[in-house]
Amino acid sequence: MLRAAAVTGALVCVLLAGCTGTADGEDEELSLDPPEPGACRALEPEDVGASSDDSPTVPCTQAHTAETFLVAALEPPLADVGRDDPRLAQDAYRRCSRGFRKLTGADDSLALRTVLSWAWFRPSEEQWEAGARWYRCDVVGGTEESASLVGLPRTAEGVLLGIPADRWMACVDDEEVVGAVPVPCSEPHGWRAATTIVVGKEGDPYPGDRVVEVLSRDYCSDSVGAWLHYPLDYEYAYTWFGEAEWDAGNRRSVCWARTDQ
């Protein structure tokens, strides 16, 4: 974190369209400009969980793992909150989730069953202190827990429309689904995210962890059985989400089928 004097100096530099000398003698200007929508980057898993990102862009015709699909300019009251204010994260969740589905063509169910995800980045602490007010949403080929991120096509627009390719779908290559990191279903696996089930309606209060878990268990048993065409014997698992996700708008749990297909 820069000291207050350094932040003030950077702000003056920007306002006067000049530059200040850094300690090693190099010129540096603190940019407050928002990033460009449609830009691509070669991010790594550890970059996905960061609060800000200044990775260089690459041509989208080259290898990349992230594509910026939304840049939100913040207006009051969000422009007046702190950089780590929960209201900013809630707004990003709402807008990035909606934008992700619109870009990829995913419905609410498919958005939970793909290895594709999204990440949001806000200005650095120095940029925020100097007045930058924006955040960006990137579609990414995995999460911060992935061993590596899946490479993206030139654009992710419409990539989940119709019947998506297995390279975009979420599977697990462990004995247990709980705690496992999904891999693309084009890789060896023993579980597939087959369906999702609805555990509540919009506007319903959160019913509690136990209720959501039991509903997920019972509904997923039926849903996976149907997906497998009602075999006499089958294995299933489920992933349910807690109150924070409920408050953000998610009313679904993911049902997993034991299968290598």
Q: Are strands 27-28 and 170-172 parallel, antiparallel or unpaired?
A: unpaired
pLDDT at 260: 85
Instruction: Spell out a b/e string for 88-102, using b for 16 or more CB atoms within 10 Å of the CB, else e.
Output: beebbbeebbebbbe
Around Cβ 164, how many Cβ atoms within 10 Å? 19
Mean pLDDT score of the chain: 89
pLDDT for res 1: 30
Two tokens, residue 143: 């999460």
Give dist(CA 185, CA 193) in Å, integer.
9
pLDDT in tens, 22-71: 344 444 678 889 999 999 999 999 999 999 999 999 999 999 999 999 99
How much is the average pLDDT of 109-126?
A: 97
User: pLDDT at residue 239 above 90?
Assistant: yes
pLDDT at 2 over 50: no
pTM for the full model?
Answer: 0.84
* The pLDDT of residue 18: 34
Strands 236-239 and 252-258: antiparallel
Q: Which two tokens mark 166?
A: 């297995």
Task: Tell me which of 105 and 18 has the higher pLDDT.
Answer: 105
